[in-house]
Structure 1
């Protein structure tokens, strides 16, 4: 079916709607790993920047994605760190976790609390200075403290192990746990995502090296309020399957995403792996999503209609070097629509959230011809994943005749679809349209 829309103008970023794109950074590489809509309708983003050394990058924007302020945190060494997760706190400030270079030259997990203007209030680090530890996810807890997950090589663990840390409101450690379940002699266990559950415990999503197949499995762990394991589940096949994002769903179960080399087009590469479990972590259904190339799922959230929104990366769908991938499913994980974003370079989406207007906000990285190095990529879409939207008007009726159709560069083309075109008539008038199939 063809739908005809007449546009009031045809600039690359067409107005009227809820969609826009913004980029942030300098001449070196910058990346956004986490985004959240703030109480004022704007957005807070964290990631990393290599301008003036590699440091944690924090950006606050207004509701249209225009920067209000930004801050960097690190030790100004060649390698300073990066921010992996950010959340607005109940006092209007922000909490960030990530990785920072410790005094011994190795990586430590860091927890940074800032006020509503990004000014540091305190910074805490966790882990052994002689080993590498990395923080991937943080959430403020019901008691005003914080829960963090990541991975550790401290505590005489083999290679790396999942790490769970609970702090008070000042970032001081109350307890920590590591090496859940059966850890392979080769290590290979990580926590990528953590959330406090309705019962006051915690759900952690990550990956674990299987001792039987010597490949990675998606790994889901439920703990009590002191971090003691209540149950764990693994998901995957004979090859590597990686888990990145988990959320408790409205029915008390869990939605978990990552990517799989075990299922789908295994001869081509990976596919997005989406798993829905009950409250005990038992699989209710799973879906393999994507196209004919590599597809990765990094972030998932349940939407207000009971479905799910996922972002990640795709090399399918005529992607040149890889694009940001946004995919919406129904409550059973069946695809409703998908969108790709990016240019001629390499783009990835690392975090997605539904916004208060029913659209979506995504952050990641963009590397295209018009960008020096990599930049933080911030994308706001409407409820259907569109960055641009249009107003539909009735087609004027007249006796004029169409002479030719061109694109916005003036090149004649009569089969243009899904992009702006100009129709030129014998009376000298023109119409600007998009035909969408």
Structure 2
């Protein structure tokens, strides 16, 4: 008998999209296991733009729903815990979990008036999604916030003032009030200052990107991307011009940065750069694997725990597109690729679960017979990775709980790590300050702070942290590499075996 399972699968998927039910994605080659998926069912239309992993093991998505900014919190298994819509916002393009346990979404307002136009918008929420405050920034015209990260002062917003053709960085306090406005327009080609992401680097600085024509040694001029590295004080450290039009970027391990770009002639360009030197570690180009689609686009890129990258976007045809994911290894070589759903669907956001081989993709699809998009979420599992082991010289440490990996930084329970290196530790609950002492060295950290201090005798040095000390499920954790090196030890990392070794030299 002829196997018609494929036909049944198509019918189920189409019905699910039309009715708004959850349907499993259509997987191609082996690589990722089928997880859960969900399709929103709005009154008007909904889109999913950005997603982030949360410290409780869940996910947070933002986008637009029924002409309002939409924020949805789901558990690790996809159950909706809460969702909110904010009338003054039209769409959210970036969302983060904040150090106080709440959340912040940023994007743009709905049309306000002929005088004020559309402006940049940010909304702060508590753990339950209830609004704590909202702020509107900008002037007359069409303004938006593309990306937001948390900084010691409050927040760093990367956005555009399109009426003035400006590329701006806004530094705000913790209530969203503007402290500084940095005009970066001079660094980019007029009209091409848009950047999809501000990338926080391991030294406490930032990488931003934007469009810029590039003159190459053979005297050819190519539309490309300018990459700028800023210090933690927002001063320019270096610039680099590369081919391709930037779509997204993210910090990777070892102080590197990943960038996803349009490469021309329907191709996808992916770069891995050293954020300290501005040098290119590798550059890879990919084309559509399907003849019916002439272009491959990667709207979001995330670093994977094996040192590689996961890129989410679509394959574009002459009149439609299909959601698409590409997995690269640490050297930038293709491991696998998959398509999802049916025509007229694409992914715009992706996030990685800390310490796991799990990812959540968000985007939207147009069900057959309608011009109203519906937001989608798809969870992938590429394989659970074993917990990180921590060794002190030749002996494995027995920890009170498994290490947590946050933004490629290994975090250990505070008392475990200080006991292992022989430092005494105290905690001041009123100021949330950790103080560790060993000999002439004193290390001080504050929960949620991106800065720490190292005192050696009479000399005090301030150090920027890639990830701050924080409490996760009732346990205070601190960054292993910073703590180990602060007390004069060497930290060695075996990525294949997932072993971090504290080398004391004793």
Task: Note closer, same or farther for the CA distance 1:330–1:25 as it changes in structure 2 (3 Å cut).
Answer: same
TM-superposition CA deviations, 1:186-211 (whole Å, max 9, x none): 43211220122222221113333569
Q: Secondary structure at the match of 2:119?
A: strand
Task: Note closer, same or farther for the CA distance 1:138–1:25 as it changes in structure 2 (3 Å cut).
Answer: farther
**Of 265, 270, 273, which residue of structure 1 is paired with 2:269?**
273
Task: Note closer, same or farther for the CA distance 1:22–1:67 as it changes in structure 2 (3 Å cut).
Answer: same
The answer to whether the Cα contact below 8 Å between 1:307 and 1:333 also exists between their aligned partners in 2 is yes
- Tell which deviates more after alignment, 366-375 or 86-95: 366-375
Task: Note closer, same or farther for the CA distance 1:384–1:335 as it changes in structure 2 (3 Å cut).
Answer: farther
In structure 1, the gaps of 5 or more residues are 1-9, 386-437
Aligned to 2:458: none
Q: TM-score, normalised by structure 1?
A: 0.73
Task: Note closer, same or farther for the CA distance 1:161–1:173 as it changes in structure 2 (3 Å cut).
Answer: same
Q: TM-score, normalised by structure 2?
A: 0.63
The answer to whether the Cα contact below 8 Å between 1:272 and 1:295 also exists between their aligned partners in 2 is yes
Q: Secondary structure at the match of 1:199?
A: coil
Aligned to 2:132: 121
Deviation for aligned residue 1:85? 0.5
TM-superposition CA deviations, 1:131-151 (whole Å, max 9, x none): 32211111112x261111121
In structure 2, the gaps of 5 or more residues are 1-8, 14-22, 26-32, 385-506
**Of 115, 123, 127, which residue of structure 2 is paired with 1:112?**
123
Q: Are 1:257 and 2:257 counterparts?
A: no
The answer to whether the Cα contact below 8 Å between 2:169 and 2:184 also exists between their aligned partners in 1 is no
Aligned to 1:88: 97
The answer to whether the Cα contact below 8 Å between 1:18 and 1:359 also exists between their aligned partners in 2 is no
Aligned to 1:359: 358
The answer to whether the Cα contact below 8 Å between 2:297 and 2:316 also exists between their aligned partners in 1 is no
The answer to whether the Cα contact below 8 Å between 2:52 and 2:352 also exists between their aligned partners in 1 is no
Deviation for aligned residue 1:253? 2.3
**Of 35, 41, 44, which residue of structure 2 is paired with 1:28?**
44
Aligned to 1:72: 85
Task: Note closer, same or farther for the CA distance 1:384–1:341 as it changes in structure 2 (3 Å cut).
Answer: farther
Deviation for aligned residue 1:287? 0.8
Aligned to 1:175: 180
Whose relative contact order is higher, 1 or 2, with alpha carbons under 8 Å and at least 6 apart? 1
Q: Are 1:379 and 2:368 counterparts?
A: no
Q: Are 1:310 and 2:328 counterparts?
A: no
The answer to whether the Cα contact below 8 Å between 2:211 and 2:223 also exists between their aligned partners in 1 is yes
Deviation for aligned residue 1:381? 1.1
Deviation for aligned residue 1:250? 1.6
Deviation for aligned residue 1:320? 8.4
Deviation for aligned residue 1:115? 0.9
Aligned to 1:229: 236
Aligned to 1:341: 340
Task: Note closer, same or farther for the CA distance 1:99–1:364 as it changes in structure 2 (3 Å cut).
Answer: same
TM-superposition CA deviations, 1:79-115 (whole Å, max 9, x none): x521001011122211111011445341211121011
The answer to whether the Cα contact below 8 Å between 2:119 and 2:143 also exists between their aligned partners in 1 is yes
Q: Distance in 1 between matches of 2:112 and 2:183?
A: 20
**Of 70, 73, 78, which residue of structure 2 is paired with 1:57?**
70
Aligned to 1:131: 141
Q: Are 1:195 and 2:199 counterparts?
A: yes
Task: Note closer, same or farther for the CA distance 1:111–1:348 as it changes in structure 2 (3 Å cut).
Answer: same
Q: Distance in 1 between matches of 2:212 and 2:263?
A: 13
Q: Secondary structure at the match of 1:189?
A: coil
- Tell which deviates more after alignment, 213-222 or 33-42: 213-222
The answer to whether the Cα contact below 8 Å between 1:205 and 1:256 also exists between their aligned partners in 2 is no
Deviation for aligned residue 1:215? 6.2
- Tell which deviates more after alignment, 130-139 or 61-70: 61-70
Note the aligned Cα RMSD (angstroms): 2.8
Q: Are 1:287 and 2:284 counterparts?
A: yes
Q: Are 1:42 and 2:45 counterparts?
A: no
